[in-house]
Chains A and B, each alone.
Chain A
Amino acid sequence: MNGPLLKFLLACATFPLAASIANPEWNGRWRFDPDRSSALDGWTNMDIAIEANGSKVSITHDMRWRSTRVTKTNVVNTRRTVKIPDFFRIEARHMAVYAPKSFEATVSSEWLDAGGALRVEAEFPVEISQGDATIRMYSEYRLGEGGETLTLIELRSSRNNPLVYRFKRLPEGDTSRP
């Protein structure tokens, strides 16, 4: 057995093909469904845009608060743990829990359930009134049957109640903002 073939087989064994390739239905923009979701705090609405490209998955949050808009992207990698500067999370903005001025989150991710779900686990520092603290956050994105709905379940080490955000797919070519 020659070297390259051995390497390929080893790679297949380490990263099962089915789990490392994203379902193309993930790609697209998704609009928040407030009636079926946990309440946002300090945000009026949001869209999420997902783009899977190889092992890299780009998750863009398009947030709105009244007339203010914030757009932030986290690029995770389903094959390895990455450091993401200024990692964005859907924070509750009426809590005195602040992102430090300069920080990195340690983020791992993987496709689950034959590409039907994406797990993202992040650990990041926050600034609180007593100084610094660390939050570990588990996020699972689940694609609905038919690819028209997306559910994000978020659990934080600091919070006993999970947050559930539901989204509906926006039609291709829809350029509206939240």
Chain B
Amino acid sequence: MIRAITKILLLMTLAASATVAFGKKEPIKDAYSMRFDLDWAVASGLPEKAMLVSLQGLANRDDAQLYIIHPPDFQWEITEPLYDFYKRKHGVTFTEIKTADAALARFKDAAKGYVVWDPSVGPSLNVAFTIAGLEDGVVVTEALIPLVEKHGLKPIDDLRGRYTGQSYAEIYADAIDRYWHRCNRDKIMLMGGHRGRVMMPAMADWGIRERMFFHELSADPEEADELALNRRLLGDLNVGATVFGWHPYGVDTEEQSTMLLSMYGLKMEGLHNLPNLSYNCQFEFTPGFKFTNNHHVAKDAVLVAEEKVYITFIQSDSIGIGVWTKPGRGKLPFAWQVTMNWTKFSPAALEYFHESATPNDYFIGGLSGPGYMYPNNIPRDRFVVLMEEAKELMAVLDEHVMEIMDNSAADGNVGNADLFEETVDAYYEAFPDVLGFINGYGPARTRDLRDTRPLISYDYYIDPKRPREEVTADLNELIALNSKRPYFLAVHVRESNDVNSLVTVVENLEGPVEVVPLDKFLKYAASNKTYVTRFRQADDPVHFKGY
């Protein structure tokens, strides 16, 4: 009897400690908010914002205390709706902090000191962020020193002059030698994006909270010294690690950067200006919440396509940016690629999207896996593990379609976005229960149908700047050229398109056209294969030949 009671007590103790170790603690209800403007110029708005996001990372290290609201025309348009969501669904009361001085007064205890960076040496900001995460500091320029000292903060390090005249490779080689051994090996911050006169490191709070190494090293083979350092960092990361941030604009390309990390089996979560992860990561879904997607057809349903043109619209640039908050959503069936990893980093955002979805909004998994990656380049042993993770996330999110994108040989949104046959084989094997797959970003020509699961590539990409009458004419031309019926026309809608304008486009299409939700589209496409099976071929044109 005593033994039994002892066992029960032991089990209860283990269960309690497991909750502490793995569960998120209840976020505090009295938090603070700040409003940012759009001035990220190095010469004006950046220094104070960089200091504040570093302070945010420290303030949010143990509790969700500080949330930043960006203007509606900031790239991530959801900060204000999400702020309302926290108030409404999580009962958070925010007190607005109006100035940097007031923010320091409130949160100075979260910081042990300050690190000075040099605005004339851009990479010094990233080095300062790395130090700030490791040493619990805020980052400041020379002009901000009096302000932080007024609040009692002491100097931790001073980068003025340390890197003057050095190349990026020299600067980051030094930073790797000094700090990399102490940094997080499950997460790294590729703080690239905007460079030069404007920098936008709005994601730095997350990197500081998680003690990540910050860098902006190129993935371009022509920048061999930077590439070597970049590869060293990626190679040192733990299996299954995530690269946060974004590639440096004007230095390398998204294609090079994403291809490189895919070769190491790593996941990408962007962008460099995604704000508030240090706050968002501390929330769970609200009690009782469960994702229920707007399915239009049962998984085992059989639909038979008629002799018509079936069009489906898909947005794959992450639902946090662009069209979601714009007028017109809900007027047409739309599939939205969900950043599935947000179940870990930003569950409230996913819940917000879910609760504000219209019956015409349908969520799909992607991009390519449990993060942004190029599957033609993922090592096979890692592919299996990553797709298991993706399947688990899709199950949580009630998603039945996987979207794939491999732009490693493409040139932005044109060119080769196709999948090798062995990559397609791997997806069919990994996802036996999906309705099907969508591939591409720009148009692509990988297509297949196995059992009831079609793999369809985009036949059209809507450039947001293209005049709508030309978009209409382009779609009508595709309908004319693909003259067999049914014709399955998958359209990728770039994030900054306007849904209302697409309604007009649809009204002016010629022929027996029906716009259908993606799940019905795939079911119809499974019933009558009028598309030709094709995979990427060895002699297809490529823009970037790879490493």
Contact = CB atoms under 8 A, between A and B. Distances in A.
Interface string B508-547: 0010000000000000000000111000000100010000
B445 interface: yes
Contact of A129 (B459, B466, B510): B459
B476 interface: yes
Interface stretch (A48-56, A141-149, A155-163): A155-163
Contacts of B477: 95, 97, 156, 158-159
Interface stretch (A21-29, A37-45, A76-84, A106-114): A37-45
B interface, size bucket: 35 or more
Nearest to B484: A130
Contacts of B460: 94-96
Interface string B471-511: 00110111011111001100000000000000000000010
Given A41-B466, A128-B481, A159 B411 contact: no
Q: Which of B443, B445, B461, B462 has the largest number of chain A CB atoms within 10 A?
A: B443
Given A68-B543, A127-B445, A129-B445, A97 B414 contact: no
A97 B475 CA distance: 11
Contacts of A92: 474
A44 to B, nearest CB: 10
A11 to B, nearest CB: 41
Interface in B432-473: 442-445, 447, 457-463, 465-467, 469-470, 473
B413 interface: yes
Contacts of A159: 473, 476-477, 480
Contact of A130 (B442, B463, B482): B482
A93 B414 contact: yes
B531 A129 contact: yes
Contact of B444 (A93, A96, A135, A161): A96
Contacts of A128: 478, 481-482
B457 A41 contact: no
A66 interface: yes
A38 B470 contact: yes
B90 to A, nearest CB: 42
Contact of A95 (B447, B459, B488): B459
A160 B508 CA distance: 13
A65 B473 contact: no
B412 interface: yes
B473 A160 contact: yes
Interface residues of A, number: 28
Nearest to A94: B461
A133 B481 contact: yes
A41 B478 CA distance: 14
Interface string A110-130: 000000000000000011111
A98 interface: yes
Given A68-B411, A129-B447, A96 B478 contact: yes
Contacts of B442: 42, 93-94
B469 A161 contact: yes
A41 B487 CA distance: 23
A92 to B, nearest CB: 6
B481 A41 contact: no
Interface in A58-96: 65-66, 68, 92-96
A3 interface: no
B443 A95 contact: yes
Nearest to B492: A94
B498 to A, nearest CB: 16
Contacts of A133: 481-483
Given A42-B414, A93-B415, 8 more contacts: A39-B470, A41-B474, A93-B414, A94-B463, A96-B458, A96-B459, A96-B478, A97-B481
23 contacts: A39-B466, A39-B470, A41-B466, A41-B474, A42-B463, A65-B411, A93-B442, A94-B466, A95-B460, A95-B478, A96-B458, A96-B478, A97-B477, A97-B481, A127-B445, A128-B478, A129-B459, A130-B481, A130-B484, A130-B531, A130-B532, A159-B476, A159-B477
